[in-house]
Amino acid sequence: MRKLASIQKIEAINPIEGRDRIVEATVLGWRVLIRKDEYQVGDLTIFCEIDSVLPERQEFEFLRDKKFRVKTFKLSNCISQGICFPLSLLPDKDWQVGDDVTEVLGVTKYEPDENNREPQVEKEHEKKWYAPLLRFRWFRRLVLPKKQWGGFPSFISKTDETRLMNMPFLLKDKSEWVVSEKIDGSSITIFLKRERGRFGKVKFDYGVCSRNLRLNLSDVTPFTVVAEKYNTKQVLMDSIEDYDFIAIQGEQISAKTQANKYKVTEPDMYVFNVITPEGRMGSLEAKEWCEARGLKFVPIVSESYVLPDTMQEVIDYSHGKSKLYDTLREGLVFRSMDGKRSFKVVDPKWLLKHGL
């Protein structure tokens, strides 16, 4: 589980030109604006990451106009990501660096509505002779398909890369990484699982999921549309071989997804993970696997990137145009050659542009 609020140390404090009351602090790999003289280097603080949603308490009232959500902001040419609070907000305890206080403070994660839960099949019924009766709830229950939303499959991990800023120690790792563009869409997972039925008969369970839900295949949503568009059931059936399961994960983009930043006219999908019980394929192997089966893979930015010595250099590297459309890209995803390790860097300029 992501540590939205944790105990961290003030690693450095730097003055801001033209500002007497605020300074720039470094927490992990993040830069955060704080009040001058509020902390000294080495002090402990409660650090709340961006995308944290704080509870409605008096101490957090200054965030009400932002709906209590911690966002990226820019002041005096400095980008601040996160907020520091004193330990006095917590119960009296011997707190240590790294302690997770997310639940103690009642912090939750901001989740955009990615699931597109309203099935488009209802529009087809609006063309029928009985369309006027659809205004009655009891009639809709009789004629419209039942929404059958299930839980996300437990044998597959949800997609949520850790940010490099939370792991600054990785800057010392000079191995090579495969870098791909981070696409701003909705997470999609498509899987095929081998199961044993009665009398040992083999059967297969096929499913399409949003970030948190397994979807009803009869509902016409961007998720089910792209799954059918790329014939994913047959693709996985042809590839499962002796595996207990095989799955692909990617980003679904459509005119109704994330304000359609890529200006697509129909739903599409870019895969970034191919998963079997043996683990996640390396990105280059997964790209070759996808392209051989008619699937699109996320754009590769570098096949052999070595991390520089400073966080700012990596952040600068994240800046750039998307390969999908003439727009600022969201950021970058870095994976080790074997696919076992990964992290992301979201471009602060992109976050500022979209008010995130």
Average pLDDT of span 263-284: 95
Two structure tokens written together for 226: 């792209």
* Predicted confidence band of residue 257 (pLDDT cuts 50, 70, 90): confident
d(CA 318, CA 337): 19
Q: What per-residue confidence (pLDDT) applies to 83?
A: 96
Amino acid 156 reads I
Q: What per-residue confidence (pLDDT) applies to 116?
A: 41
Amino acid 117 reads R
Least confident of 127-136, 264-273, 334-343: 127-136
Q: What per-residue confidence (pLDDT) applies to 147?
A: 47
CA–CA distance from 251 to each of 184, 188, 269 (Å)? 7, 6, 6
Two structure tokens written together for 126: 């609006």
d(CA 90, CA 334): 35
Report the DSSP pairing between strands 72-75 and 78-81. Answer: antiparallel
What is the DSSP secondary structure assignment for residue 106, as one 8-state letter? T
Q: From the options 2.60.40.420, 3.30.1950.10, 3.30.470.30, 3.40.50.720, give the CATH code of 164-353.
A: 3.30.470.30
Q: What per-residue confidence (pLDDT) applies to 115?
A: 43
* Predicted confidence band of residue 200 (pLDDT cuts 50, 70, 90): confident
Tens digit of each residue's pLDDT (9 = 90 or more) over 96-138: 999 999 999 999 988 775 444 433 444 455 556 666 666 666 6
Q: What per-residue confidence (pLDDT) applies to 44?
A: 97
250-278 per-residue burial string, b: 16 or more CB within 10 A, e: under 16? bbbbbeebbeebbebeebbbbbbbbbbee
Q: What per-residue confidence (pLDDT) applies to 199?
A: 75
**In the chain, what percentage of residues exceed pLDDT 70?**
89
Q: What per-residue confidence (pLDDT) applies to 148?
A: 45
203 vs 126, more confident: 203
CA–CA distance from 141 to each of 122, 134, 144 (Å)? 11, 9, 6
Q: What per-residue confidence (pLDDT) applies to 149?
A: 52
Q: What per-residue confidence (pLDDT) applies to 175?
A: 94
CATH 3.30.470.30 domain position(s) in the chain: 164-353
Per-chain mean pLDDT for the chain: 89
Q: What per-residue confidence (pLDDT) applies to 138?
A: 65
Q: Do residues 295 and 273 touch, judged by C-beta distance below 8 A?
A: no
Average pLDDT of span 158-179: 92
* Predicted confidence band of residue 141 (pLDDT cuts 50, 70, 90): low
Average pLDDT of span 233-242: 94
Q: Do residues 213 and 341 touch, judged by C-beta distance below 8 A?
A: no
pTM for this predicted structure: 0.82
Q: What is the sign, positive or negative, of the torsion defined by CA atoms of 16, 82, 7, 314?
A: negative
Q: 15 - beta bridge partners?
A: 23
**In the chain, what percentage of residues exceed pLDDT 90?**
72
Average pLDDT of span 326-336: 95
Q: What per-residue confidence (pLDDT) applies to 113?
A: 56
